[in-house]
């Protein structure tokens, strides 16, 4: 598994801090994919690595039967979710189209949250300092437990990534990474899903 250079080199934040004492629980966790669309998805920092990591996380969610809610910001103008990811999401509900930067401004998104019955949400996508940031804050305000998967988020400017994660952590929102959240969900190598997931995180 490749870690984006921005995660390794940025000195202004530590990327694997978690707040609180409760680990992720499979029966209570889902994933939110934010706006990995069109040309923007190709020009964000470490685009290739971010898309590959998100694809791995989607596959891990499928193996562990976690719900995935995916979002598209004004797709008529910004384009659809990139095919590398949308092809993996065919078995899930259609993407939630939005105009508000925070997904929580869309009734369809809030309805899917409620219907899922989940409280812990892994957030990935772009851009970290805009739609990812605002969605995470609004989720916390609604008593959900969002976690930013830092090797699955990006922005055009790498400084904006660290600024956003810093500010989110200062407001009590946890940061994790792909490997950390996967092992946290698995809990033990005895689980039948472990062998299927292992190649995705090596």
pLDDT in tens, 68-88: 999 999 999 999 999 999 999
Is residue 141 a part of any domain in this protein?
yes
Candidates 150, 177, 155, 144; CA nearest to 166 is: 150
Is-contact 63 198, C-beta < 8 A? no
DSSP state of 127: -
Query: Which pLDDT belongs to residue 58?
Result: 98
Q: How far is 53 from 120, CA to CA, in rounded Å? A: 20
Count Cβ atoms below 10 Å from residue 48 Cβ, excluding itself.
Answer: 11
Is residue 192 a part of any domain in this protein?
no
Query: Which pLDDT belongs to residue 22?
Result: 83
Q: How far is 177 from 153, CA to CA, in rounded Å? A: 10
Is residue 3 a part of any domain in this protein?
no
Is residue 199 a part of any domain in this protein?
no
Q: What is the CATH number of the domain that holds 79?
A: 3.40.50.850
Query: Which pLDDT belongs to residue 59?
Result: 98
> What's the chain's length in residues?
202
Q: How many domains does the chain have?
A: 1
Query: Which pLDDT belongs to residue 93?
Result: 87
Is residue 14 a part of any domain in this protein?
no
Q: Is the pTM of this model over 0.85?
A: yes
Query: Which pLDDT belongs to residue 16?
Result: 42
Is residue 11 a part of any domain in this protein?
no
Domain that holds residue 116: 25-185
- What residues in the chain have per-residue pLDDT under 50? 6-19
């Amino acid at each position: 598994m490749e870690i984006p250079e921005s995660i390794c080199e940025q000195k202004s934040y530590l990327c694997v801090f978690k707040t609180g004492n409760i680990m992720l629980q499979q029966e209570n966790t889902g994933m939110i994919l934010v706006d990995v669309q069109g040309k923007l998805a190709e020009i964000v920092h470490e685009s290739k690595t971010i898309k590959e990591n998100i694809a791995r996380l989607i596959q891990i969610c499928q193996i562990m039967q976690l719900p995935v809610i995916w979002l598209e910001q004004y797709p008529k103008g910004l384009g659809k979710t990139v095919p590398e990811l949308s092809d993996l999401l065919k078995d899930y509900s259609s993407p939630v189209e939005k105009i508000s930067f925070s997904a929580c401004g869309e009734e369809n998104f809030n309805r899917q949250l409620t219907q899922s019955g989940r409280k812990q949400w892994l957030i990935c996508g772009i851009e970290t300092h805009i739609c990812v940031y605002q969605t995470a804050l609004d989720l916390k305000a609604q008593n959900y437990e969002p976690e930013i998967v830092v090797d699955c988020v990006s922005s055009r400017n790498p400084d904006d990534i660290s600024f956003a994660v810093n500010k989110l952590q200062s407001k009590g929102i946890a940061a994790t990474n792909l490997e950390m959240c996967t092992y946290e969900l698995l809990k033990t190598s005895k689980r039948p899903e472990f062998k299927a997931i292992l190649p995705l995180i090596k």
